[in-house]
Structure 1
Amino acid sequence: MRRLRQLAARTPAGRQRYVDLLRALAICMVVLGHWAVAAIGEDATGRPTGRSALPELPWAYPLTWLAQVMPVFFLVGGYANTASLTARRAAGVDATAWLLARGARLLRPTTALLLVIAGGAALASLAGVEATLVRTVAWFATIPLWFLAAYLIVVPLTPAMHALHRRFGLLVPLVLAALVVAGDVGRALGPAGLALPNYVFGWLAVHQLGIAWRDADAGPHAARPAPPGTPDSAPPRAAPTPGGAPARRLPTSRRAGAAALLGGLAATVLLTTVGPYPMSMLNVPGERLDNAAPPSLALLTLTTAQFGLILLLRAPAERWLRRPRPWQAVIAVNSVVLTVFLWHLTAVILLVGALDAVGRLPTPPVGSAAWFAWRVPWVLMLVVVLAVLVAVFGPVEARTGRSGSTGGGGSSAGRAPGGPGRWATARTALTAAGFAAVVYALVANAETPRSAPEALGVPAPALVAYLARAGTLRLLRSGWAGRG
């Protein structure tokens, strides 16, 4: 508590606390949503199984419009990444060093998860557990990594997308939305694979909206970096857009918020009733179209409505966050927010295993009174299990956040070692290759069937690729490439 009070007291006056609150709320809602719709049963051999209850609860589909908050995370990511990039550039840190520092906050907690899963799977395999069962358990535990793969594609593109925003403004997210529509048309008329680019275009469009939001908050002088020493969230100064004409900025008034909320809701209703899109914004097994995997036009219109609501709630939320206790709570959650997300399904596996081992695992039919009554103790027990996991693994993320808060400016990785001519190009290429390999590994794991015989739980080639490239990025961040 003392450290939280110290961190709260040192919060820069210009920090956008509302953005931090939105990040924390988004992840917490994802966790609670996954727990609430979990349906636990038994297979023919009596082993516990897990699935989503949504297919049996069609009346709950409209509620997924509130539960689907991953767009909020990407929106906040665009805002925060742009603020951090601008401030670090002003401090003399290049884009590659910024990316290495930004990536560390994502990769260290992920590495901890994968090492624990692989180690536990190896022990289970040596103990004689079937490789298919080992993979099934690991598959459930690593479901959150699909989101991280998408985010690790978007983050490295921030410098380029920020430059595009400075030149073309709101035209950029509109073009990305048009590409999402093209992908939707492709999967409606042909193979579902034609929409795979929407994983990039859709989340990039939401991230770009966050970039535009940051630019609007920074005011009419937002394009030029702030002087050295300015906090990440403080508004930077500006440079004119090419041709001297300012780019059209994203309106963020309450009137604009109301218009975005009503317009986004109206469009989403039309697309999911008259149009071809499903009502649910979360995955429902058996649906031909999925609004979130990959992102669809309906998800983008819902994002517009969510952004409108965010603008309407901003003023009272910011006043509330000026109080010490709420702000300390937000700081605490954000220090371990990725750990909470990565381990929340592992908590389910551990609780189900423990209850099954003592013969106390309830498996009421989905939708029954017993099933609904079980939601409350179920979630409360999961909170306890996850709290233990966060206490064990949260320090990995918390330490990374503190050491990486300068964006790399305090290490030899902060500037191109040996001068731009010698190391900058090689370091940038190695960084890009490292992120590409990490994304490949996470996608390969997600695409491997959950019944595949994997003794390590995770496909061995994917695990090796991830660890090798994550290690390379760690060395680059430490400045190893410029030594000797």
Structure 2
Amino acid sequence: MALRVTDRAVVPAQTSPLEIEPGPGPAAPKPKAGRDRYLDLLRALALVRVVIYHNFSWTWLPLVFPSMGVMFALAGSLMAKSLSRPALSVIRGRMRRLLPPMWMFGAVLLTAMILDGWGPNSEGHPNWWWGHLAFWILPLSTPPFASNLSGFGGHLPSTWAEQVAVPLWYLRAYLWFVLLSPLMLKAVRRLPWVTLLVPLALSAFLNSGLVDQSGRVMEAATDFTTFASCWLLGMAHNEGLLRRIPQYVVPSIAPLVLAAGYWWLQQAPVDNPRVGPDLEAVPLAQAIWSFGSVMLLLHLSPSWEKWPRPLERFNGVVSLLNSRAVTVYLWHSLALVLTEPLINPLWSNDFIYTHLQWLLSSQWLPLLVAIPLILLALLLFGWVEDVAAKRRPRLFPYPRRPKGQRRK
């Protein structure tokens, strides 16, 4: 996340000669940069949108707010800011923050899959199974998971592991962006606009039908080209490149980019005509739409060091989501999967079936059940993020108001 803070020297209107030191004194320390609350808000909204989308599968949600493009852009901005230090130390620090939460997630998921019958023989390729387990240590490719299980005697759907493993692609793509960021930042500084557009051109080539997209390598390449322009936009934002162009340029170009992305989405085949086209199922359309949306969001970029008064009430939730972003993203799918065995027994209760059938059949009920489960995951596993960041572990880092301060 980029922190744009302008240091302004405070000059008194009138200065008495008695207040002037005879010699050059020590330089006044610069004020410590605070968090950019606007970028914090974008990250929190992106996480909430991901959870809602995975619960309701509303295909219009990615059009309203393309969460993945926003998250990659914010990460790219933060990475560019960090690269003022030696590149190897920055990459090592980013990997240290990413991998321990994933290892905890993998330890739980692998144990559960093995207990449910997954193993070398279940896939038919014992050597493949053992070799690919290394991706749970370093996710250069998507870590392996079971596609079909017994569901613990039918209590869970047979595809529960596949549903829980949905977030793993993001970690793989994030790792590759981190590893290539030093080169990407140099390219942004030398040829900014060419660099921003190259991933879109590569995405168009990969999705043209001329390239076989099967296999792990092409899977990683597709995700990389889909979101690389957003990552680069975040870097350009941190470098101040977007502020050097006239203010009217981005609002003039971005709608045309969004129109092109929407047009391409409408041309793509639709799997379910009743649902309609899904942006997240069409990589090139998602790349173009995310690029246009991120351009607008970063162009606004009010850089709030303090919350605007109407948003002050959301400080606690936004701060919590930002401090536990990886935990929420990794564990929300498991929370949604676990809602099924928790809700199904309620259909056997005569009173609930008679009077609350409308609630049992509502899509909102799984979300209401999943929220406490996500909070439980924050308590059980969120502290790993603190350890990975070399902070004091906290069970629930919800910010407290200073003593004696009342809510306005």
Which TM-score band applies after superposition, normalised by the shorter structure? 0.5 to 0.7
Q: Is the 8 A contact 1:78 1:210 kept in 2?
A: yes
- 1:379 CA displacement: 1.5
Whether 1:300 and 2:291 are equivalent positions in the alignment is: no
1:328 CA drift (Å): 4.2
Equivalent position amino acid for 1:80 in 2 = L
Aligned residue-pair number: 317
Q: Which runs of 5+ in 1 are unaligned?
A: 1-10, 38-59, 217-247, 362-368, 405-484
Deviations for 1:387-434, whole angstroms, at most 9, x for unmatched residues?
A: 112111111113323449xxxxxxxxxxxxxxxxxxxxxxxxxxxxxx
Q: Quick check: 1:17 aligned with 2:63?
A: no
Within the candidate set 158, 167, 179, 2:190 is matched to 167
Residue 301 of structure 1 aligns with an amino acid whose one-letter code is I
> Shift of the alpha carbon at 1:19?
1.9
Distance of aligned partners of 1:292 and 1:374 in 2 relative to their CA distance in 1, 3 Å threshold: closer
Is 2:227 the counterpart of 1:203? Answer: yes
Contact 1:199 1:293 in 2 (8 A): no
Mapped to 2, the partners of 1:136 and 1:328 lie a distance apart of 35
C-alpha spacing 1:304/1:293, structure 2 compared with 1 (3 Å): same
Deviations 1:95-121 (A, max 9, x none): 222212111221111111111122233
TM-score normalised by length of structure 2 = 0.67
Q: Deviations over 1:170-227 (max 9, x none)?
A: 2112122211111122x2x5644496433222222221111111111xxxxxxxxxxx
Q: Distance in 2 between matches of 1:380 and 1:119?
A: 27
Partner of 1:262: 255
- Given that 2:63 and 2:279 are in contact with CA atoms closer than 8 Å, whether structure 1 keeps it comes out as no
C-alpha contact 2:160 2:337 (8 A) present in aligned 1? yes
Answer yes or no: is the 8 Å Cα contact 1:257–1:309 preserved in 2: yes
Q: Against the structure 1 CA distance between its residues 156 and 34, is the aligned structure 2 distance closer, same or farther, given a 3 Å change threshold? A: same
The answer on whether the counterparts of 1:199 and 1:294 sit within 8 Å (CA) in structure 2 is no
Question: How much has 1:312 moved relative to structure 2?
Answer: 6.0
SS in 2 for 1:143: coil
- Amino acid across the alignment from 1:340: V
Query: After superposition, what is the alpha-carbon deviation per residue over 1:200-256, rounded to whole angstroms, capped at 9, x for unaligned?
Result: 22222221111111111xxxxxxxxxxxxxxxxxxxxxxxxxxxxxxx756577534
Equivalent position to 2:103, from 89, 108, 111: 111
2:141 paired residue number: none
Q: Do 1:347 and 1:385's aligned partners in 2 also have CA atoms closer than 8 Å?
A: yes
Q: Look up the match of 1:242.
A: none
1:7 corresponds in structure 2 to none
Secondary structure, aligned partner of 1:132:
coil
Q: Secondary structure, in 3 states, of the residue corresponding to 1:13? A: coil
Do 2:38 and 2:302's aligned partners in 1 also have CA atoms closer than 8 Å? Answer: no
Residue type of the alignment partner of 2:42: L
Aligned equivalent of 1:320, options 296, 307, 330: 307
Q: Percent identical across equivalent pairs?
A: 27
- The alpha carbon displacement at 1:338 in A equals 0.9
Letter in 1 for 2:167: P
Report the AA paired with residue 375 of structure 1. Answer: Q
Scaled by the length of structure 1, the TM-score of the pair is 0.57
Q: How has the CA–CA distance of structure 1 residues 357 and 285 changed in structure 2, closer, same or farther, with 3 Å as cutoff?
A: farther
Greater displacement, 257-266 / 387-396: 257-266
Q: State the alpha-carbon separation in 2 of the partners of residues 251 and 269 from structure 1.
A: 28
**CA 1:84–1:327 in structure 2 vs 1: closer, same or farther (change >3 Å)?**
farther
What code does the residue aligned with 1:255 have? Answer: Y
Partner in structure 2 of residue 8 of structure 1 = none
8 Å Cα contact 2:36-2:303 kept in structure 1: no
**Structure-2 change in CA distance of 1:372 and 1:182 (3 Å):** farther
* Residue of structure 1 aligned with 2:375, choices 379, 387, 392: 387
Alignment deviations for residues 130-181 of structure 1 (CA, whole Å, 9 cap, x no partner)? 9832573322211111221111111111111111212222211212221111
Equivalent position of 1:179 in the other structure: 202
Q: What CA distance in whole angstroms lies between the structure 2 residues aligned with 1:393 and 1:206? A: 29
Per-residue CA distance 1:330-349 (angstroms, 9 max, x = gap): 22211111111111111122
Runs of 5+ consecutive residues of structure 2 not aligned to the other structure? 1-30, 119-145, 152-157, 350-356, 393-408
- CA pair 116-321 structure 1, distance change in 2 beyond 3 A: farther
Residue 149 of structure 2 corresponds to residue 132 of structure 1: yes
Secondary structure of the equivalent of 1:374? coil
Cα distance in 1, alignment partners of residues 69 and 253 from structure 2: 15
Distance 1:212 1:313, change over 3 A: closer
Match of 1:377 among 365, 368, 371: 365
Report how far residue 316 of structure 1 moved: 8.8
Kindly indicate whether structure 1 or structure 2 has the higher relative contact order, using CA contacts under 8 Å at least 6 residues apart: 1
Map 1:272-311 to 2 at 5 A.
272-273=265-266, 276-277=267-268, 292=280, 295-296=283-284, 298-311=285-298
Q: Specify the alignment match of 1:401 in structure 2.
A: 389
How do 1:453-468 and structure 2 match up within 5 A?
none
Provide the C-alpha distance between the structure 1 equivalents of 2:117 and 2:174, rounded to a whole number of angstroms: 32
- The alignment partner of 2:389 has SS state of helix
Give the aligned residue type for 1:19.
L
Over aligned residues, Cα RMSD in angstroms? 3.7
Matched, 1:143 2:200: no
* Residue type of the alignment partner of 1:17: R
2:79 to 78, 81, 89: 81
Secondary structure class of the residue paired with 2:362:
helix
